[in-house]
Amino acid sequence: LCNRAGSNTNYYKFHQYEWKHARASVQMKFKLAEGLNLSVTPYIFDVDGTVQGGSTLNQNKAFLGADSATPLQFPDGSASSQVAQSNDTFHESTFGINSVLDWKKGHNDLQFGYWYSYINYAEDPTYSLPDAAGNASRRGQDPVLTASGAALKQWDAHVIQQTNTLSLMDTYSLLQDRLKISAGFKEAMITRTATNLMPGATYATGFSDAQPLPRVAISYQITPRDQVYINGTTAFREAAAITPSVDMFSSSTGQMTSRHVTGGIKPEYSIAEELGYRHYGKYFNLSLSFFNYNFTNRQITSSSLVEGTTITTSLNGGGQTTRGISGEISLPRWHHFTPYFSGQYLHATTDNNLASNGTYLPTAGKVAVLSPKFSGAIGLSYDDGHVFGNFAFNYVGSEYSTFMNDEKIPSYVTANLGIGYRFNDVFFLKRPQLQLNLTNLGNNHYLSGAWGLTTNAHNTLGTDGHTVIKGGAPTYITGGNFTGLVSFTSGF
């Protein structure tokens, strides 16, 4: 049997991304007494999708987990080696509730908050063979089967995560509300459990974590148009990828390609300070801020292709210090035109050497990955009530894609334009509008980000003085070409 894809795993129909989601929430507010209010917002979020890739399957050499799966059930008369589509299907259901009890008395505002979240996530990549036209089922409806009749998979995971967060925040206003001082504390508690039905895999893994998150904020209104502020905050982030929770296997060798991390990857924790100034004036608006972030166990997401399936992992980048200044300025409307400027300077460094191959890479003091030193934008908008439009010119400086700073993404610029017309009400249509959006006006060919980061692109000598750590090339995301999109929207 022949198909249009032939033996090409890069065939375009094998590389699609489908995503469907639905969400709903209900905001409720109850007045319990004078100055005492309760806000409750329950919500649900449901998403399912599939990410495809191309791979090659050998009918007589295949594994389901650590067990032999041969011979695979190929169509009669087909060759023993077949190009196949990898279908990484996933489904996530989330339920949560946000609640805040707010008590205002005189110059004081006291808030007590509680957030609960329940996430149910399942993922089980399968394979499917294309027909003569090069089409293959995309959601595992017709998977390649093993000799025993089971679907051929790389993993079969089910993850449950529950989050409970308690918070207390108090704000006191002084000097006729010109000076506001806020202080608060949040305790975040997370439990994550995972099961994996693959032969040879650890069936159940999990961990629990609790993090204290204090914060403070002070602002002073110098004049009705000018404000200075200083903030001190903390935050944390668990590893987002499923990889640390489950074992993954090669379907061609039966070898484990990724092993779960006992107890989970250490969460990222950050302490941030920000000093800023805001001016809302007659002639211009200005915002300027100086910031400093200190990270421990910096979480960085990276992806790779393993036998056609996208594997997303969380890398522990160790300590990181990020400092910089950002600002933006806009001018008042003049003849329906409004200009806008923004920019940022960033100095981010890795604080320690990263462990690799029994030694360490000399990464301390290197520039942190994905941290462009300069970035900025210039914008111009127009709106006379009917005709409207906006133009944006963006610049992003070069950024490193390896922790050793031996490969980087070049700087790039893009320009986008949107123009449209807003009509008066027509019958039951409220302010319908027709809009044309043009992105990447110059059709600039550029790399917009790193898809797969590596520690070092070239062979590097470890800190022990004799171990050579083999380099690996990063992979990149290409920016979109010139695109035009026409849309029609209306209220009812």
Above 80 in pLDDT, residue 7?
no
Per DSSP bridges, beta strands 430-439 and 412-422 are antiparallel
What is residue 9's predicted lDDT score, i.e. its pLDDT? 84
CA–CA distance, 434 with 386 (Å, rounded to integer): 10
What is residue 225's predicted lDDT score, i.e. its pLDDT? 96
Mean per-residue pLDDT, 403-419: 97
What is residue 3's predicted lDDT score, i.e. its pLDDT? 55
What is residue 32's predicted lDDT score, i.e. its pLDDT? 97
Above 60 in pLDDT, residue 5?
no
SS3 of the chain: the string is CCCCCCCCCCCHHHCCEEEEEEEEECCEEEEEECCEEEEEEEEEEEEEEEEEEEEEEECCECEECCEECCCCECCCCCCCEEEEEEEEEEEEEEEEEEEEEEEEECCEEEEEEEEEEEEEEEECCEEECCCCCCCCCCCCCCCCECCCCCECECCCEEEEEEEEEEEEEEEEEECCCCEEEEEEEEEEEEEEEEEECCCCCCCEEEEEEEEEEEEEEEEEEEECCEEEEEEEEEEEECCCCCHHHCCEECCCCCCEEECCCCCCCCCEEEEEEEEEEEEECCCCEEEEEEEEEEEECCEEEEEEEECCEEEEEEEECCCEEEEEEEEEEECCCECCEEEEEEEEEEEEEECCCEEECCEEECCCCCECCCCCCEEEEEEEEEECCCEEEEEEEEEECCEECECCCCCEECCEEEEEEEEEEECCCECCEEEEEEEEEEECCCCCCCEEEEEECECCCCCEECCCCCCEECCCCCEEEECCCCEEEEEEEEEC
What is the tens place of the pLDDT at every residue in 119-145? Answer: 999 999 999 998 888 888 777 778 999
Average pLDDT, the chain: 93
User: Comparing 2 with 332, which gets the higher pLDDT?
Assistant: 332
What is residue 273's predicted lDDT score, i.e. its pLDDT? 98
* Nearest alpha carbon to residue 28 among 97, 94, 80: 97
User: Comparing 10 with 187, which gets the higher pLDDT?
Assistant: 187
Above 60 in pLDDT, residue 293?
yes
Amino acid at 56: T
Amino acid at 137: S
Above 90 in pLDDT, residue 301?
no
Above 90 in pLDDT, residue 456?
yes
Neighbours of 250 (CB within 10 A): 16
CA–CA distance, 87 with 136 (Å, rounded to integer): 10
Mean per-residue pLDDT, 348-362: 95
In the chain, what percentage of residues exceed pLDDT 70?
99
CA distances from 141 to 116, 125, 129, 137 (A): 35, 12, 11, 6
What superfamily does domain 105-111+156-491 belong to in CATH? TonB-dependent receptor, beta-barrel domain (2.40.170.20)
Q: In the chain, where are the structural domains located? A: 105-111+156-491
What is residue 1's predicted lDDT score, i.e. its pLDDT? 45
Above 60 in pLDDT, residue 353?
yes
What is the tens place of the pLDDT at every residue in 21-74? Answer: 999 999 999 999 999 999 999 999 999 999 888 999 999 999 999 999 999 999
In the chain, what percentage of residues exceed pLDDT 90?
81
Above 80 in pLDDT, residue 88?
yes
Mean per-residue pLDDT, 228-246: 92
Which residues on adjacent β-strands are paired with residue 68?
A: 63
What is residue 69's predicted lDDT score, i.e. its pLDDT? 95
Above 90 in pLDDT, residue 313?
no
Mean per-residue pLDDT, 323-334: 96
